[in-house]
Chains A and B, each alone.
Chain A
Amino acid sequence: MRWIRQNLVVIAGLLTLAYMILPNIVVMVFSFNKPAGRFNYAWQEFSTDAWKDPCGVADMCGSLSLSLQIALWATIGSTLLGSMIAFALVRYRFRARGAINSLIFLPMAMPEVVMAASLLTLFLNLGAELGFWTILIAHTMFCLSFVVVAVKARVLSMDPRLEEAARDLYAGPVQTFVRVTLPIAAPGIAAGAMLAFALSFDDFIITNFNSGNTVTFPMFVWGSAQRGTPVQINVIGTAMFVIAVLVVVTGQLISSRRKNSALLK
Chain B
Amino acid sequence: MTVTEAPPAAPVPEPVEPVVHKQSVRRKLIPYWLLLPGILWLVVFFALPMVYQASTSVQTGSLEEGFKVTWHVQTYWDALTEYYPQFLRSVLYAGTATILCLLLGYPLAYLIAFKAGRWRNLLLVLVIAPFFTSFLIRTLAWKTILADGGPVVDVLNSVGFLDVTSWLGMTEGNRLLATPLAVVCGLTYNFLPFMVLPLYTSLERIDPRLHEAAGDLYAKSSTTFRKVTFPLSMPGVVSGTLLTFIPASGDYVNAELLGSTDTKMVGNVIQSQFLRVLDYPTAAALSFILMAVVLIMVTVYIRRAGTEDLV
Residues of A within 8 A of B (CB): 8-10, 12-14, 16-17, 19-24, 26-27, 30, 41-42, 81-82, 84-85, 87-94, 100-101, 103-107, 109-115, 117-122, 124-125, 137-138, 140-141, 144-145, 148-149, 160, 163-164, 167-168, 173, 176, 198, 201-202, 204-205, 208-209, 217-218, 221-222, 225, 229, 233-234, 236-238, 240-241, 243-245, 248-249, 252
* A110 and B45 form a contact (CB under 8 A): no
Bound form: Cα–Cα A119–B95 in Å: 27
Chain B contributes a number of interface residues (CB within 8 A of A) equal to 91
Contact A118-B53, Cβ < 8 Å, known A20-B189, A225-B257, A240-B132: yes
Contact A85 B284 (CB under 8 A): no
Instruction: Determine if B115 and A10 form an interchain contact, defined as CB atoms under 8 angstroms apart.
Output: yes
| Interface of chain B: mostly helix, strand, loop or mixed | helix
**B183 close to A (CB within 8 Å):** no
| The residue from B107, B130, B280 contacting A241, defined by CB atoms under 8 A apart | B130
Query: In the assembly, what is the distance between CA of A231 and CA of B1, in Å?
Result: 54
CB distance from B86 to the nearest CB of A (A): 12
Bitwise, B103-144 to A at CB < 8 A (1) or not (0) is 011011111100100000101011111111111111111111
Q: Are A109 and B136 in contact (CB under 8 A)?
A: no
From A114, A202, A225, B131 is in contact (CB under 8 Å) with A202
A198 proximity list for chain B (CB < 8 A):
131-132
**10 residue pairs, one from A and one from B, having the closest CB atoms:** A111-B250, A13-B111, A244-B132, A81-B38, A12-B107, A92-B31, A118-B49, A88-B34, A23-B141, A118-B53
Contacts of B5 in A (CB 8 A): 91, 163, 173, 176
- Cβ contacts under 8 Å, A238 to chain B: 133
Distance (whole angstroms) from the CB of A55 to the closest CB of chain B: 16
Q: Which residue of A lies closest to B53 (CB)?
A: A118
Contacts of A30 in B (CB 8 A): 141, 144
Residue of B nearest to A248 (CB): B125
Which residue of the partner chain, among B32, B115, B134, contacts A9 with CB atoms under 8 Å?
B115
Q: Does the CB pair B128–A248 fall under 8 Å?
A: yes
A112 neighbours in B (Cβ, 8 Å)? 247, 250-251
Residues of chain B from 75 to 125 with CB closer than 8 A to chain A in the complex: 104-105, 107-112, 115, 121, 123, 125
Q: List CB contacts (< 8 Å) of B52-70 with chain A.
A: 52-53, 56
Beta-carbon contact of B35 and A137 below 8 Å: no
A244: which of B53, B129, B196 is its contact (CB, 8 Å)? B129
The complex places the Cα of A13 from the Cα of B139 at a distance, in Å, of 22
Give the tally of cross-chain contacts (CB within 8 A).
Answer: 273
B147 to A225, Cβ gap below 8 A? no
A117 lies within 8 A of B138 (CB)? no
Q: Note all chain A residues with C-beta closer than 8 A to B134.
A: 201-202, 217-218, 221, 236-237, 240
Q: Tell me whether B213 is interfacial, beta carbon within 8 Å.
A: no
Per the bound structure, the CA–CA distance linking A140 and B37 in Å amounts to: 12
On whether the beta carbons of B253 and A113 are closer than 8 Å, the reply is: no
Residues of chain A contacted by B43 (CB below 8 angstroms):
103
Tell me whether B274 and A20 are in contact (CB under 8 A). Answer: no
Residues of B within 8 A of A113 (CB): 250-252, 267, 270-271, 287, 290
- Minimal Cβ-Cβ distance residue in B for A161: B4
Q: Which of B121, B275, B290 contacts A209 (CB 8 A)?
A: B275
Distance between B201 CB and nearest chain A CB, rounded to angstroms: 10
Check A27/B111 contact, CB under 8 A, given A87-B34, A198-B131: no
Residue pair A121, B49 in contact (C-beta under 8 Å) = yes
**How far apart are the CA atoms of A89 and B298 in the complex, in Å?**
24
**Known pairs A16-B104, A17-B108, A144-B38; A225 contacts B140 (CB<8 A):** yes
CB distance from A121 to the nearest CB of B (A): 4
Cα-based distance from A217 to B2 in the complex (angstroms): 46
Q: Can you identify 12 A-B contacts, CB atoms within 8 angstroms?
A: A12-B111, A19-B189, A21-B130, A23-B130, A91-B1, A104-B311, A115-B46, A118-B50, A121-B52, A124-B280, A225-B140, A237-B138
- In the bound complex, residues from chain B placing their C-beta under 8 Å from that of A21 are 126, 130
